[in-house]
Chain A
C-alpha cells in the first residue's frame, strides 16, 4: 500500500505539468478555437531559460543574451524570468501567429502551431548548453508520511499548484465578466463583438495567463523531472489527451485527467519492475496507452466535441485538380532525368531522396490537400513500409518488385485502421488522433524489441532479371540504375494518382472535403471515400518508405519518429498541400533532399536546417497560407490578367 501511495504521489510532479498544459489547451480552445500543439514548447523555453540563469546567470533570448549575475542567479530570479519568458512566448504566438490565422482553416492553425513547436525545439539545442546545464532545486527537500509512505513535499506542492491554476482558470472563465465573455465568444464571436468586447483582447488575456501558468509549473517541476532539450515539447501529447477527456470544455476535468495520467505513468514504471509484468509493455506503453484510451473515447463521443462558431468561417485553400497535360509532366520528368545524369555523389543522392520524399509528400497531398483529413501519421506509414521491406527482403527473400508491393499493402491496411476514427472525428481533433496512431505504430511496431532483429533492419539490394539495381557501387554513392528505378516507380505512381484525382475519385474527395453532408446527399459514400483516401495515402507513403529503405541499405526507428512526421507535414504545407506540384517541391525541401544538400555542402549551414524549415513554416502559415506553389500560381495568374488588361487597353 505504501508503495502504491508513494508512486501515485511521484506522478503528481509530471502530472501537474500535464494538468496545467491540458487546462491551458482547454482555455485557449475556448477563447480562440485553436488546439495549440506548441503549449509544451512554451514550457520548454521557460524551463531552459530558468536553468541557464540558475547555472550561469545568463538570460538567453532567442537572439542574443544578457549576463545578469556573475555566478548562478538566485532562485526567485530564475523562476520569475523563466515564467516571464514563457508568458512572452505565448503572447507573441498569439499576436504574431495565431491571431492572424483566427479565420483560417484548421490545417493552417495546426501547421502554424506545429511550426512554433518545431521552432522552439530546434532553437533550444542551438541556444543553450544542453550538456552541462542543470536545473537546481527550487522546492524544499522535506517529506511527510502519508499512509505509511514517505511522500516528498515537492510533489504535494506541485499538485497544489496544478489544482490552484485550474481553479483560477475555471473561476476566471465562470465568475468574471471577461471570462463569461470569453466563453460566449466561443459560442458566437459576433454577438460578443456587439456587446463591446474584443474577442482578440479576451483571447490575449487567456494566452497570457496560460503561458504564465505553464511556465511556472514547468520551471518549478523541472528539478525533479529533469532537463531535456525535447521532453517538454512532447508533454503536449498527454496534455492533449487530458484536454480531450475534458471534451475541451472543462478546465477542472482536464486538470484531474492530467494528474491521473501522470500517476498512471508512474505506477506503470513501478509495475514494470515486477516479474509478472510483460517485457513488451514497458516505457513506450506508458506514453501510448493514455492516448489510445482517449482516441477510443473520442470516437465514441465523436460528435459531442464543440465546434466553434466564428465571425468569419474558415475558407479552405483552393485546390487545382491535376490537368493531365503532357508538356509540364514531360518537362518535369526531363528535368529530373537531367538532374540525375548531370550530378554525382551526394548531390545525386539528394536528387533521388527528393524524388522519394515527393512521393511521401504526395500521400499527404491526397489525404490532406484533396480529402481534407489532417494526418500526422504519413511518416509512420512510410516507416511501416520500410520495416516490412527489411523483413520481406532479408528474412523471406522475396525479390523486387514484389518486395515493394507487399510492404506497401501492409502500410495500406494500417492506414485504413488509423483512418477509421476519421469517420467520426474531424479537423484538428483528427490530427490528434492520427498523432496517437503514429505514436502507437512507433512504439509497438518500430520500437518493439520483439519485432526488431539485433543486427538491425538490414535491407538487401534490389535486383531484377539479374540486373543489380542497388543504390551503391563502390565509391559511387548513387548509381544511375537505382536513380532511374526510383524515377520510374515514383513517376508511375504520380501519374496514376493524378489520373485518379482528376477523375471521379478526385471529385468525390473534393466533395467530402468541402461539405460531408452535401457529398452524402449527392450520393457519395463518405465513409468509403475517407477510408479509400487513407488507404491510397498509406500505400503511397509505404512505397516511399520502401524506396527510402533501399536508398539507405538499413533503417532505424529515428528516421520515422513523430517529430519527422510533423516536420514532413509542415514541409508539404509550406510547399503547397493542395497540388501535385506542391508535393514535388516538398520533395526538394525534405530532409536529405536537394535543399539540405545545398545548405550543407554549399553554405555549410546543415545544423540550421531544422530551424530554417520551422521559421519558413511559421512565416508561410501566417502570411501565405496557400503555400509556395499556390502563391506562384496566383502570381502567374495575376501577371496574365494584367497582360490581358494591357493588351485589351
Chain B
C-alpha cells in the first residue's frame, strides 16, 4: 500500500509541478508572442506595399544561458522593422526573421540549425554565437550560408566555405589595437581573456608575432570561465604596470565593469582597454576616461566624430533601436542592426529566386561594397570568411563620448594576421 501511496503522491506532485511550469511558461510565451506581432506591427503596415513571399532568414539569437546578449535581439528586431518599413524589403519582398534562442551550448545551436533547415531559410544570421560552428555541418549540407559580423566561435572563423562575415576577424581587433597603442607610444600591453582552447591558440600564436613585428611587450592572462576572480585578475594585469591593461574580449558588460573597478582599486593608472564594452562608461564616466575600446561598427557615442554620411546612418540606427520596446542598446544592438541592413542592401538587386546558393554567391561577389556603419567590404576571399580586416579603436573622452584613434578605420598589418587561419 505504501508503495502505491508514494507512487500516487509522486504522480500528483509531478503533474502539479508540470502544470505550474506550463502555466508560467505559457504566460511568458504568450507575452513574447504578443511582443512579436507588436514589434512587427510597423513593418507589417509598411510591408503592405511589399509583395511576394517573404525572404526567410534564420537568426541565432544569443538570448539564453550564462552569457546572453539581449542587444543582438534588439538590433535584429529594429533592423527588420527598418528594412521592411524604410528600405522596401529585399527586392520588394518582406524580410522575415526566424528567430531561434541559443544559450552558448553546441546542442542549442545544432537544434536551431535543424529548425532553420525545416523552415526553409535562405541564410542564417549569426548573432555573435559562441558555438556557431555546431550549425555548420547542418547548414552546409543544406547549402544555407551562415552570415555574421565577427565570428565569435573561432572554429567558424577559421575557414571560408559556406559563410560570410561582414566585419573583421577577431585577430584584427587585437592587432589593430596594438598598432594604435604602439603609435601612441604605449609599448607594454597585458590583456586578459577567458581560458578556452581557441582563445589560447589565437593568443599564443598572435602575441609572439605581434611582439616581434611591433617591438612591443605584449602578454595574455587567462582566467577561468567558471571562476573569474576579477580582483586577482586585475592585480595580475597591473603587476608590472603595463602601459595598457584590460580585457581582450569580454563575455558581457558586467565583466568589463567589474574589471575596470578592480583595476582602479589596484591604483592602476595606465590605459584600460575594455574590448567592445560601453556600459561602464555611462556608469562612471570619470573612471572610464582615458580608456579604450574597439568596435566593428560606428557607435552612437562617437556621433560627434563620425563622417557626415555615417552620422545619418547612426541616427537611423539609433532611432530604430531606441524604438524597440524594452530593448537593450550597446555594441551588440548596433552591430546586429548593421549586419542585417548590410545583408538586405547587398541582396536587394538580385534577380530571380533567392536560395541559399544565390545568397552565398551574391555575398561572396561583393566588391568595395559600402557596409552599413562599417567600411567598404570585399567578400570573395578564398581563405577567410571575413569581408574586411579594418576595425575601429575608440578612446574614451572626459565627457563620456568616444573618439576614434587615427582618422577612422584602422588596417592591421596583414603579415601578422596571416599567422591566424582564416584571418586573411
Binding site for B on A (CB under 8 A): 3, 6-7, 10-11, 13-14, 63, 125, 130-135, 137, 141, 150, 152, 155, 223-231, 234-235, 265-266, 269-270, 272-273, 279, 282-284, 286-287, 345-346, 349, 446-449, 452, 454-456, 472-475, 477, 552-559, 591-592, 596-597, 600-601, 603-608, 611-612, 615-616, 619-620, 623-624, 631, 634-635, 638
* B110 adjacent to A273 (CB under 8 Å): no
* B131 adjacent to A558 (CB under 8 Å): yes
Q: Which residue from chain A places its CB closest to the CB of B258 in the assembled complex?
A: A226
Residue of A223, A272, A456, A597 contacting most chain B CB atoms (<10 Å): A456
B196 contacts the other chain (CB 8 A)? yes
Contacts of B254 in A (CB 8 A): 130-134, 226-227
B230 contacts the other chain (CB 8 A)? yes
* B421 adjacent to A454 (CB under 8 Å): yes
Contacts of A223 in B (CB 8 A): 261
* B230 adjacent to A477 (CB under 8 Å): no
* B6 adjacent to A558 (CB under 8 Å): no
* A228 adjacent to B228 (CB under 8 Å): yes
A10 to B231, CA, bound (A): 7
Contacts of B7 in A (CB 8 A): 624, 631, 634-635
A279 to B104, CA, bound (A): 26
B252 contacts the other chain (CB 8 A)? yes
* A604 adjacent to B29 (CB under 8 Å): yes
Q: Which of A130, A273, A446 contacts B66 (CB 8 A)?
A: A130
Residue of B17, B190, B261 contacting most chain A CB atoms (<10 Å): B261
With A283-B224, A558-B106, A559-B105 in contact, do A226 and B265 touch (Cβ < 8 Å)? no
Q: Which residues of B153-202 have CB atoms within 8 Å of chain A's CB atoms?
A: 154-155, 158-159, 190, 195-198, 200-201
19 contacts between A and B (CB under 8 A): A3-B239, A6-B235, A10-B229, A131-B68, A134-B254, A225-B228, A231-B226, A270-B235, A447-B197, A472-B137, A474-B143, A554-B134, A556-B134, A559-B106, A591-B107, A592-B111, A596-B111, A619-B17, A635-B7
Q: Besides A556-B106, A624-B7, A638-B4, 16 other CB < 8 A contacts?
A: A10-B235, A63-B24, A125-B68, A132-B279, A135-B258, A152-B265, A230-B226, A269-B223, A282-B222, A452-B198, A472-B137, A553-B137, A556-B131, A558-B106, A604-B29, A611-B21
Contacts of B198 in A (CB 8 A): 449, 452, 454
* B117 adjacent to A345 (CB under 8 Å): yes
What mask results when residues 248 to 265 of chain B are scored 1 for a CB within 8 Å of chain A, else 0?
A: 000011110110011001
B18 contacts the other chain (CB 8 A)? yes
B365 contacts the other chain (CB 8 A)? no
Contacts of B226 in A (CB 8 A): 228, 230-231, 234, 287
Contacts of B18 in A (CB 8 A): 612
Q: Which of B22, B137, B232, B235 contacts A552 (CB 8 A)?
A: B137
B44 contacts the other chain (CB 8 A)? no
A638 to B2, CA, bound (A): 11
With A132-B253, A623-B13 in contact, do A152 and B118 touch (Cβ < 8 Å)? no
Contacts of A634 in B (CB 8 A): 3-4, 7
Q: Closest CB-CB distance, B403 to chain A, in whole Å?
A: 25
Q: Which residue from chain B places its CB closest to the CB of A121 in the assembled complex?
A: B66
Q: Which residue from chain B places its CB closest to the CB of A459 in the assembled complex?
A: B137
Q: Which residue from chain B places its CB closest to the CB of A642 in the assembled complex?
A: B4
Binding site for A on B (CB under 8 A): 3-4, 6-7, 9-10, 13-14, 17-18, 21-22, 24-25, 29, 64-70, 101, 103-108, 110-111, 114-115, 117-118, 131, 133-134, 136-138, 141-143, 154-155, 158-159, 190, 195-198, 200-201, 204, 219, 221-224, 226-233, 235-236, 239-240, 252-255, 257-258, 261-262, 265, 267, 279, 283, 328, 421
Q: Which of B111, B197, B228 contacts A231 (CB 8 A)?
A: B228
Q: Which of A226, A284, A455 contacts B155 (CB 8 A)?
A: A455
Residue of B143, B226, B421 contacting most chain A CB atoms (<10 Å): B226
* B222 adjacent to A283 (CB under 8 Å): yes
Q: Which residue from chain A places its CB closest to the CB of B251 in the assembled complex?
A: A228
With A269-B236, A456-B158 in contact, do A346 and B115 touch (Cβ < 8 Å)? yes
Contacts of A155 in B (CB 8 A): 231
With A125-B66, A234-B226, A273-B236 in contact, do A279 and B200 touch (Cβ < 8 Å)? yes
Contacts of A472 in B (CB 8 A): 137-138, 141-142
Contacts of A273 in B (CB 8 A): 190, 219, 221, 236, 239-240
* A554 adjacent to B66 (CB under 8 Å): no
Q: Which of A131, A345, A455, A608 contacts B118 (CB 8 A)?
A: A345
A14 to B231, CA, bound (A): 10
Q: Closest CB-CB distance, B283 to chain A, in whole Å?
A: 8
Q: Closest CB-CB distance, B143 to chain A, in whole Å?
A: 7
Residue of B70, B101, B134, B201 contacting most chain A CB atoms (<10 Å): B134
A604 to B28, CA, bound (A): 11
Q: Which of B221, B253, B258 contacts A272 (CB 8 A)?
A: B221
Contacts of A227 in B (CB 8 A): 254, 258
A604 to B70, CA, bound (A): 19
Contacts of B114 in A (CB 8 A): 345-346, 349, 477
A224 to B231, CA, bound (A): 5
With A141-B265, A634-B3 in contact, do A556 and B24 touch (Cβ < 8 Å)? no
With A554-B136, A635-B4 in contact, do A455 and B255 touch (Cβ < 8 Å)? no
* B255 adjacent to A448 (CB under 8 Å): no
A605 to B108, CA, bound (A): 13
A554 to B159, CA, bound (A): 14
Contacts of B233 in A (CB 8 A): 269
Q: Closest CB-CB distance, B119 to chain A, in whole Å?
A: 10
Q: Which of B6, B10, B141, B239 contacts A474 (CB 8 A)?
A: B141
* A284 adjacent to B103 (CB under 8 Å): no
Q: Which of B67, B159, B265 contacts A455 (CB 8 A)?
A: B159
* B253 adjacent to A224 (CB under 8 Å): no
With A282-B222, A475-B117, A477-B117 in contact, do A226 and B111 touch (Cβ < 8 Å)? no
* B204 adjacent to A279 (CB under 8 Å): yes
Contacts of A557 in B (CB 8 A): 196-197
Q: Which of A234, A456, A477, A597 contacts B227 (CB 8 A)?
A: A234
Contacts of B69 in A (CB 8 A): 131
Q: Which of B111, B137, B232 contacts A14 (CB 8 A)?
A: B232
Residue of B65, B114, B198, B253 contacting most chain A CB atoms (<10 Å): B114
* A612 adjacent to B137 (CB under 8 Å): no
Contacts of A132 in B (CB 8 A): 253-254, 279
A456 to B158, CA, bound (A): 9
Contacts of A597 in B (CB 8 A): 111
* B10 adjacent to A619 (CB under 8 Å): yes
A550 to B413, CA, bound (A): 39
Contacts of A235 in B (CB 8 A): 227
With A455-B155, A474-B143 in contact, do A131 and B66 touch (Cβ < 8 Å)? no
A452 to B200, CA, bound (A): 10
Contacts of B201 in A (CB 8 A): 449, 452, 454
Contacts of B25 in A (CB 8 A): 603, 605, 608
Q: Which residue from chain A places its CB closest to the CB of B158 in the assembled complex?
A: A455
* B106 adjacent to A287 (CB under 8 Å): no
With A554-B136, A558-B105, A623-B9 in contact, do A615 and B21 touch (Cβ < 8 Å)? yes
* B258 adjacent to A558 (CB under 8 Å): no
* A225 adjacent to B65 (CB under 8 Å): no
A14 to B70, CA, bound (A): 30
Q: Which residue from chain B places its CB closest to the CB of A154 in the assembled complex?
A: B231
* B107 adjacent to A554 (CB under 8 Å): no
With A63-B24, A474-B141, A612-B21 in contact, do A448 and B197 touch (Cβ < 8 Å)? yes
Q: Closest CB-CB distance, B280 to chain A, in whole Å?
A: 9
A231 to B328, CA, bound (A): 25
Residue of A225, A226, A472, A638 contacting most chain B CB atoms (<10 Å): A226
